[in-house]
Every structure is written in structure tokens, then in C-alpha cells.
Amino acid sequence: MSEGGIGAAPVRVDGRDKVTGRARYAVEHPVDAPLHAWVVQAQVAVGQVRHVDRQSALDVPGVVAVLDAGNAPRVADAADAELMVLQGPQVSYRGQVVALVLAESLEAAREGARVLRVTYDEAPHDVQLTRDHPKLYRPGQVNPAFPADSAQGDFEAAWNGSPHRVDVRCSTPAEFNNPMEPHATTAQWDGDRLLVHDSTQGTTSVKQHLAAAFDVAEDGVRVLAPHVGGGFGAKGSARPNVVLAVMGARATGRTVKLALTRAQQFSLVGYRTPTLQRVRLAAGTDGRLTAFAHDAVEQTSTVFEFAEQTTEGTRHMYGARASRTTHRLAALDVPTPRWMRAPGEAPGMYGLETAMDELAEVTGIDPVELRIRNDTQTDPETGQPFSSRHLVECLRRGAERFGWAGRDPRPGVRRDGRWLVGTGVAAATYPVYLSASGARARRCPDGTFEVGVNATDVGTGARTVLLQVAADALGVPPECVRVDIADSDLPPAPVAGGSSGTSSWGTAVHLACRRLLEGTDEQVVVDTADVIAAQAEVSRHAFGAHFAEVRVDLDSGEVRVSRMLGVFAAGRIVNPRTARSQLLGGMVMGVSMALHESGSLDVGSGDYANANLADYHVAAHADIADLDAEWVEEVDDQLNPIGTKGIGEIGIVGSPAAVHNAVWHATGVRVRDLPITPDKLLAGLPQR
């Protein structure tokens, strides 16, 4: 390892630029005389736009143009119909884009949008998800490409013949990504050449979509995303903002800047689908599972199908001779759900790991011990051996550090004044993904090196860790290497998503640098598709264990997470500093999911009533006390040349369940429908 290479903990190379304001985000890049765009959203849930009175907005000083389905540039059919903006009068959900106002100033654009008169022919809408909704169907597959259902053995026979059983129904609400930087785009045409600065998790995919949508050559489109203020999955593919900005620029011949408002984020860029889950666990007298079933009901839109893989993680977690998992979907008059940090695994592991806690209660077995007894080194779903699985080490290390030994298993017995105190545990898993990526490495005349990889740093430290990977492969100090990222002119690369970024991009960077050293060329370009095709047939997953302590106020029902510990087995850690930050960030989002976040659907209007950060609460500094994260050393040579698994999502998986289990231990009350709010707890709390 070179000094500062893999395993070192340097600070982020772009840290100073970000804290001093030198880092430029999507709408901050200086351009001459740009137009500012403001989105106009549908005020009905279902129907058709009858008329757009453009003149009502054009009368506002500074307004230059109004685009709607009657005059907007045509775009080619897209596989994602949410990107076919302003292409017809149909309204499929409240908040869908019906017009775009372009003006000389942001204020004029906003005022033009406010006064724009749009009339509709409204139709009845259906927006409420239920377990027995008449529109439920089995999707062909769930994200990204898993079978919707799976079954092994005779579940009913194993269930009926087992001495211990739990049958749990739980739910998670609609949850919204809310990255600090909203979805935003600056777009400018120069003839048939298009330059876009976009807040995206992947410039390659945005470039490909724009080229197809606007019928231009891919080499005539350049998408840049040098700094992105968070994404959490919401920026994992092109969203309406980038299409609208490019459309506005084409229609006016001017550079256009467009940034969605916080409220618009709630309907235009995706969210986590609500889930209605049923988990059944059967076990023998020794606590070992004999059967499990996990069923999930979710929603999608009528515009585009997105099926979350809610029960997929359950298929790989614990062994049993019989199992069944299902997904059912209802296409409602709602915006399309999308990826949100650990899609599927985050809500699904909440269902499984709270049910495991109830099984521990029924069997009288310690919750940590119960999980250890059900560990398996063979993937229950595929029969393949795990490339590495150190869940037991995570559980034991976490229990030791957290002070689990001697815990009184009885709920509601530990008090500190007016506070009830409890502790809980939950396990976690997340798959290891690896996608084909390109990268190039070049030897400079002065003896330094340049590396280019179309990675996107969404605040995770990708720039820093890829510099470490390059320095390590080249055997030189990091100051001898320059890494260029987030430019679609670089070799194509996958999005920053699925906890696959470092592994996918890092593999390409490692191979490009190694081949540069081995040859005589001054520049090497690689594509890792052949490496991925040659992967061994093993099951690859990261694992973890979360431990939480909560305090519940007897008078108000307020829940405080007083301390939380996560211990993970996530392959080789490239940078301990940025890794710990990532894991803690996931845990914070898990606390937020457990206690705060919930979209409040107004069935009458078909809209979420709390589409703002005043009413939709996310965990803030005051909600977070003592959090810590660590990992066990894990060497796995069956993953990729650098041995990484991915850490962006394992931190949130399981953490809401640990909080739920701790709340039950503190109070004896189980709130199975997230979030756990004071009103849900108060009815069951003992009187003082």
C-alpha cells in the first residue's frame, strides 16, 4: 500500500472547496444571461388539461415563454414514461408537470407560475393502498431484477407442525429522500451540441437518455456533475427536471436554469413506496426456524411500474426448510415510487427483524442468541455458499461493546425517573452489486498520473477513495495522482447506487492503473465487463448488527434514542474516515425512519399534505445522541480486485427494527406501523 492508499484515512480532497463555497453545484455554474424556469404542477389527481392560458403568465414582466403540452418541443418515447413531460394533456397524479414558465429572473418565473391559469376536466381518483385492494397484481419482477415470489419446501406443513409461531402484520409509510441539494439542472444548446450540469447520481445514463429523447448523437451531449448535494437514490436516473431544462433551452435558444422547490421534490422525483407486510416465523423448541413467510403489498403509479424488492432480503437472511416470499402491487393515481436508500431491504428488514424479536419473546431465547442459532453459511435462496458471512461476529462484537450481557428480557421494568429505558437488537444484510465500468489512466511527462472515471460523488467521498485506489495500484503517493470524475465525456460508468460505486468504479481504476504500469503505453482505457462475467458462483452480501437503547417519557410518549451501535462486515474498508461517516449517516436515516418520517396522504385531494420540511420531520441534531459504528476485519477475495462490498446502505438496513425492539423492551408496547410516534405509544403506556 502506498502512503495514503487503501486503508488510510485522509480527509476528503474536496472538503475545503465545499466548506468555503468554491464547489459549484448544478445551478451555480456561471453563465451569461440565463433564463430561470419554474414548474407548474397539476391541481387535480386524475383528468385532463383542458386549457392553459399562457397569456396570464406572459403578462408578468420578465416572463419570456410558457411551455405546455400544446407548444412544448416533442421528445422521443422513453422507457420511463415519467420523462415524457408536456407531451399530452393527461394528468395521472396530483403534482404532475403541466407547464413550465421561463423568465429573466427567478422571481418573475415564480410569479408567472403562480398566476398561470390552467383548467382541467377532472376524473375520480384512487390513491389509498390497502391489503385487499382490488387492483393488486403480481409484478413480473421486483427491483432490480429479482423474481416477485419465491418458495421452497411446504410452508403450510412446516408452519402447522412447529411448536413456536409468530404472525406479524406491520407497515411502513411513504418516505421521501429529501437530499440537501434539490434536483436541479443548467442546460445550454450550441447548435446540435448540448451541455448540461445536472444534479444526478450518474451522468452516463442522463447523457444516454437526453441523446435519445432529443434525437442527437451521444457524442454531442455532455453531462457534468462535479458536486452533488446528496441523492439517496432519488437522483439515480434522469428525472423530469433535466428534460424540462433541456426542453426550455431548445424552445428559447437560451441557457436555462431549473431547480425544483422542496415541495416539488415530494411528487416529481420519487419516494419510498408505503409497504403493508405480513411476516410469519415458525421455530422448533431450540429456536431454529422451520419455516418463514414474508408477504408485501406496495404501490406504483399508472405511469410507470416500480416494484420494490421488500421481501428479497429475507430470502438470504436465515435458514429454514420451508419458505415463501411474495410481492403484490397496486397501480394507483399517485407519483411513481423510486429508489430510496436501501430500497426493499430497509422496509423489509424492519418487518423481518421485528418479527424475530417477537419470536425471541415467544421462545424465551435471548434475541442475540436467537439470531446466532439461525445463522447459515449457505444462502437459503440459492444454495450457494456465501463468499464471506460474518454476521455472528458482528452480533457478538456488538453485544460485548454495547453491554448486552445481563440484560433483563422483561419489558417495561427499567426506569430512570419518568423515563422507561429499553434496549433492542436487529441484524442487517445488503447484497454486493458490481456493474461494468470504464476508466482511463495516463502517465504524464512530469512523472505524475491522471485517472478518469465517470463516478459521481454525491457527498460520500468517492473522489477521495478513488484517489486512494489509484495511488495504491500505481504505488505512488496520492499527491502524484489527479482523479477526474462526473463527466460523461469520460469512459461510461454506472450510477452511484446500490452500494456498488466504489466496487464498480474502483475495479476499473485499479485495472487501468495496473495495466498502465505493466505496459509501455502512455494511456490505458479499460472496461470491466469481462471481469464481472468471470465472477465465481457464490452469494455476496454485507452483514451487520444494530444495537439501540431508547428512553420513553411516561408522560408524553416521547422517544429518545440515547445510544446506538452498529457493527458491520462489509469487505475491505478503503477509507475508515469516510466509511464511518457513511455508516453513521445510514443509522441516522434509520432512526428517522423509525421515529419521524411519514408522508401524510390526503385521500380527498390525492396529495401528501406534509410536502415540506416543517411538517415532514427528518432526524436533526437534537434527535441524535450517542451513535457509533465499527466493522470487523473481513478479507474476501471473491468479490473484486480491491475486496470491497459497499457501505452506503447497510447502515440503514435493520436500524429501524433495533429502535422498534428497544421501544418494546422499554414499554411492553409494540408499534408495528412506522413511525413510532407518541400518540401511538400513549394508549399502551402504564399510568404513573
- Asked whether residue 192 falls in the same domain as residue 224, the answer is yes
Reply yes or no on whether the pLDDT at 533 is more than 80: no
- Residue 89, pLDDT score: 98
Q: Is 298 a catalytic residue?
A: no
Q: What is the pLDDT of residue 686?
A: 67
pLDDT at 688 over 60: no
Give the rounded percent of residues in the chain with a pLDDT score beyond 70.
99
Same domain, 261 and 186: yes
| Residue of 82, 361, 597, 649 with catalytic role | 649
Tell me, yes or no, whether 359 and 407 share the same domain.
yes
CB atoms inside a 10 Å sphere around CB 217 = 9
pLDDT in tens, 335-383: 999 999 999 999 999 999 999 999 999 999 999 999 999 999 999 999 9
Residue 70 and residue 575: Cα distance in Å, rounded? 52
In a domain, 687, yes or no: no
Q: Is there a single domain that holds both residue 215 and residue 113?
A: yes
Query: Is residue 605 situated within a structural domain?
Result: yes
The residues near 40 (Cβ < 8 Å, ≥ 6 apart) are 97, 98, 99, 100, 101, 113, 116, 118
Over residues 269-298, the mean pLDDT reads: 98
* Domain with 493 in it: 15-23+435-533
Name the E strands within 596-674: 601-602, 607-608, 626-631
pLDDT tens per residue, range 197-219: 999 999 999 999 999 999 999 99
The CATH number of whichever domain residue 455 belongs to comes to 3.30.365.10
pLDDT score at 535:
73
Closest alpha carbon to 607 in 151, 44, 10: 44
CB-count exposure of residue 53 (10 Å: 0-12, 13-18, 19+): middle
- Cβ-contact 27, 186 below 8 angstroms: yes
pLDDT in tens, 320-348: 999 999 999 999 999 999 999 999 999 99
pLDDT at site 530: 83
* pLDDT tens digits, 387-396: 999 999 999 9
Per-residue confidence (pLDDT) for residue 1, from 0 to 100: 46
Shared-domain flag, residues 372 and 289: yes
Q: Are residues 294 and 353 in the same domain?
A: yes
Q: Of all residues in the chain, what percent carry a pLDDT higher than 90?
A: 97
Q: Report yes or no on 30 lying in a domain.
A: no
64: left (phi over 0), alpha (psi -120 to 50) or beta: alpha
pLDDT tens for 549-575 read 999 999 999 999 999 999 999 999 999
Asked if 646 and 542 sit in the same domain, the reply is yes
- Residues 577-585 have a mean pLDDT of 97
Number of domains in the chain: 3
Q: So what's the pLDDT on residue 684? A: 81
Question: Residue 2's pLDDT is what?
Answer: 55
Q: Is 147 exposed, middle or buried (0-12, 13-18, 19+ CB in 10 A)?
A: middle
